[in-house]
Structure formats: C-alpha cells, structure tokens
Amino acid sequence: MSNPTSDPVYDQTPTLEIRCREGSLDKHHDVAVVGAGVFGAWIAYCLRRSGKSVVLLDAYGAANSRASSGGESRIIRMGYGADEIYTRWAMRSLELWRDFLGQIDEPLFHRTGVLWMARGEDPYALSTLRTLETCGVPFEKLSRTELERQYPQISFDEITWAMLEPDSGVLIARRAVQRVVDAAVKAGVDYRIDRIEPQDRSRVPADTYVFACGPWLPKLFPSLLKERIQPTRQEVFFFGVSGGDRRFCPPRMPAWIDFAGEVYGVPDLENRGFKVGPDRHGAAFDPDTGDRIVSAQGLDAARKFLAQRFPALKDAPVVETRVCQYENTSNGDFLIDRHPEFDNVWLVGGGSGHGFKHGPALAEYMAARIFEGGAPEPRFSLATKAKVRKREVF
C-alpha cells in the first residue's frame, strides 16, 4: 500500500500523524474523529454510545467561529424536492435532535414552522410537495389569499402559493453542537483541541479515522479533494426589529425559504434579530485566513430583498452580521466514503449549505458503516464528486 504524496502520512499500521497541542496521544482508540462540527460531534457521540473508544479532535474547538457549524441558527426542514433520501434523513434527524435536547433540557430547537414560498408551477416546490406526501410529513398548502391573511407582514408579490411545515423549525446551532460534544465527553469520548500537521512526529493511534472537517477537507487532502469540495464565502445579516413589534417573532413569523429568490430567513429568536441569508454560492474562501467582515454589496442586496419582501423592516438597523462558509460538492450531495488508498480512513463532508440539520442521521449511517461495513450510498461516493459545479441538492 503506497502513501499519497500530498495527503496526511500513514504507515503500514496505519496511524495518523498529528501535532497535539497538549502532547501526544498515547492511548489507542477504536476511532479517531477529526473535526468537532455537527458531523464530527454526532459521529463521536454515536460511536461512543455504541461502545467504541473515541478521540475527537478539532483545531479550534467545537463549533468555533471559523466553523460551518459555528453560526447562531440553522433551519431544519423536511422539504428537498424529489430527494427523498434527504427528506427521510431530516425526519430522522429532527426526531434525534428533539430526543437529545429533551434529555439535556435546553431549548435549542424552536418549532417555528418553515414556510416554502413558491411561484406558479414551480417544479422544485411541486416535487417537494409530492415527496412530503410520500414520506408522511405534515404540511399545509396555502393559497395566496391564505398567505396574505395569515402573514400580513410579508409582501408576497410574485409568490402565488406556499407550503408550511408546521413541525419544522430552527436549531440554535453553535450551542447545540457544543452540547453534543459535552454529552460525548460525559459518555467517555477523549476530546482534544489539536491541530493536524501531516509531517509531525507525534501520533494518534486508532483503528479507524473519520475526517469530518468541513471546509478543511480539501486543505488536508489537496490532491484528492481540492477541486471536489469548494468552500465559498457566505454572508448572513441580522436586522433589528422595532421595540415591542412581535410580527417578526414566533409564532407569528415562521422560518422561511424563498427558493427561486435564493434567500432564506429566520424569525427574531432569542432577541438576536431577523436573519436574512442569501443562499447563492459566494466567492472561494479559506476557512483559516478568510476575512469575516460582510461586504457593502452583500448588505445592499439584503436590504433590497428586505424592502421588497418585508417592507416594515426596510429601514431596520443591522444588529449583527456573520461570514461563514459552505463546503460545496459539485452537485450538493454529501461526501461519505473511504479514502481510495486506505480502507480505515473515512472522508465525511460536503455539507454544501444544507448539512447541519442532518448531523444525527448522518452519524447513525456512519456508525453502521464502521460496525457493519458495506459500501456507502452511491450518491455519497467520492466517485460521484465532479470538479465542475452543477448544484442539484438544496
């Protein structure tokens, strides 16, 4: 078995070479999980609860400000067009998120509902409707008249109908990931804030390695993934609601998705402001060194959309901004596959802007692969990850 020339170095055992800020890891673990975002945190937690000894490592710490999982809020919705696999994973994940958060008794899921805005015979919206019906997801189809009556604070303009997922909502992302890591540690996971250095002498001995590093995957495996996973800069804006105005808070305002407009949003939760997030892919971005100050152009576009869709907020002040990143595969599908040269090394990523919600179901799937073996779902395979973008999963 030959070693790749530009990827992390393995020997015949093999073991991962790593720099540990707190010193070498002498203990041998069943699984080393690299990356403590939502994927890595849930994988470590799930494997430990299944009896594996696990070490979880992250260069900057769980749900840090550079991480794709480090934002304040993430929508969890069931709608995925015709992609039934993601609808079913979202259903399972919502069940697991609610069970977990119920055990720790912390209100980090807000059942706001999710409103899908649609235009005419929008094919994606219509296929979403059919998939929700097939999978048994509760939803309401609302006419333009019903929308205007139920949500007078929204200007629907070209929107002719919508779907409301009443049981879906919003996860308080950063804190939720940190709680999963806390629970993993209490269950016996060895958690370290450590930085991977491929040529360092110190080692992390383990039988299996899972790299769930989000936008860092192409940096750790450049020869394999540099052109297959492309991190992009994504700007998010929070606008201040007028004092005492509850029209933009739950239950009067759901989370919402203007799919054709490529914009989504979250109501004012925990008094942080009304969130507006453009969903189109931004410029290429380095998660370590990228500047995280929003652009004037991005703010201008967000304000124009706000004035059109939520006119009462057209002059609302900006109370918070964020620059995070997507880590995009060519079509938006996840990457969950073995390294082509090492059977005991798994590559897990490609959240592509929609992955956060799926952490629990993805972890169950990953644990099953480690315990039971078997080939991964074909659409998650490395072989399907092209180098040219053609986004199909949203």
- Global confidence as pTM: 0.93
Domain ranges of the chain: 16-68+173-228+331-384, 100-168+230-327
- For the cut 70, the answer to whether the pLDDT of residue 174 exceeds it is yes
The average pLDDT across 191-197 equals 83
* Whether residue 314 has pLDDT greater than 90: yes
Write b or e for each residue in 343-375: b if 16 or more Cβ atoms lie within 10 A of its Cβ, otherwise e. Answer: ebbbbbbbbbbbbbbbbbbbbbbbbebbeeeee
Q: Is the pLDDT of residue 145 over 90?
A: yes
Q: Which CATH architecture has domain 16-68+173-228+331-384?
A: 3-Layer(bba) Sandwich (3.50)
Strand 255-258 and strand 114-118: pairing?
A: parallel
pLDDT of residue 25: 65
In this predicted structure, the answer to whether residue 9 has a pLDDT above a threshold of 50 is no
Give the pLDDT score at 194.
Answer: 87
Confidence check: pLDDT of 379 > 80 = yes
pLDDT over 90, % of the chain: 85
Give the 3-state secondary structure of residue 392: coil
Average pLDDT, the chain: 91
For domain 100-168+230-327, say whether CATH 3.50.50.60 is its number.
no
pLDDT at 126: 97
User: Is residue 5 over pLDDT 60?
Assistant: no
pLDDT band at 197 (very low <50, low <70, confident <90, very high): low
What does the pLDDT look like over 11-37, one tens digit per residue? 333 444 433 444 456 789 999 999 999
Do the first three CATH levels of 16-68+173-228+331-384 and 100-168+230-327 match, i.e. the same topology? Answer: no
